[in-house]
């Protein structure tokens, strides 16, 4: 995958995000065939299989950027993939999430080589965008922007305490709402820290 191409797409997608015009974004995404055609990924299955065997512990490295990935639950793939992406799937097991911010791949499945980019995900993926409006906490709607504004106004953010409290009460649904399939607090802490610097 061409990182240069991805960076250009990402820049365009950010501009579209600020304008909140999904149609325009969709148009730009359509100009990037690799994110639409998971069939391309399937053609590469055998190649990926060979790499897996040779690399041993690199088995679960992202096939695009080579960095480590995280296992996600089936419910995460089922909840976060778009309808178009889901149309190709009969089950949602075995997917992994790539958290690398410079990598266009969001989900992949080592078993059959399936790959899904940001346009196959129903929400803007925190790690894969620089859009200020994007959510960092998907359960309770804290965006990067809302945290930045709070820190600017008060010097700190109540988001971490608020999220922790709600999680303690069992109100979180991270596997269904967060594209990474797990708790957002690490990312929220990083956003708060960056806002305070």
Instruction: State the distance between the two ends of the chain, measured CA to CA, in whole angstroms.
Output: 34
Examine residue 188 and tell whether it contacts Zn ion (CB under 5 A): no
Query: Which residue stretch of 51-59, 86-94, 99-107, 136-144 sits at the interface with Zn ion (rule: CB under 5 A)?
Result: 99-107
Q: Does 48 bind Zn ion (CB under 5 A)?
A: no
Only segment of 12-20, 54-62, 75-83, 112-120 that touches Zn ion (CB under 5 A): 54-62
The answer to the question of residue 98 lying near Zn ion (CB under 5 A) is yes
Selected range binding Zn ion among 45-53, 57-65, 157-165, 170-178, rule: CB under 5 A? 57-65
Q: How far is the CB of 167 from Zn ion (least distance, A)?
A: 28
Q: And the tokens for 63?
A: 């096939």
64 counts as binding Zn ion under rule CB under 5 A? yes
Residue 60 Cβ vs Zn ion, minimum distance, rounded to whole Å: 11
Task: Tell me which residues touch Zn ion (CB under 5 A).
Answer: 62, 64-65, 98, 100, 103, 105
């Amino acid at each position: 995958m061409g990182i240069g191409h991805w960076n250009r797409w990402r820049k365009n997608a950010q501009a579209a995000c600020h304008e909140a015009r999904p149609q325009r974004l969709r148009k730009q995404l359509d100009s990037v065939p690799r994110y639409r055609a998971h069939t391309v990924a399937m053609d590469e299955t055998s190649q990926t299989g060979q790499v897996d065997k040779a690399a041993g512990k690199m088995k679960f490295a992202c096939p695009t950027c080579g960095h480590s990935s995280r296992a996600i639950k089936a419910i995460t793939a089922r909840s976060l993939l778009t309808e178009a992406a889901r149309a190709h799937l009969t089950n949602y097991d075995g997917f992994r999430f790539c958290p690398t911010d410079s990598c266009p791949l969001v989900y992949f499945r080592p078993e059959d080589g399936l790959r899904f980019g940001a346009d196959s995900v129903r929400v803007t993926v925190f790690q894969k965008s620089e859009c200020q409006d994007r959510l960092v906490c998907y359960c309770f709607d804290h965006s990067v922007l809302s945290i930045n504004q709070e820190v600017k106004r008060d010097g700190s953010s109540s988001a971490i305490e608020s999220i922790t409290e709600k999680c303690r009460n069992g109100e979180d649904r991270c596997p269904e709402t967060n594209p990474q399939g797990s708790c957002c607090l690490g990312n929220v802490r990083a956003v708060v820290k960056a806002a305070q610097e």
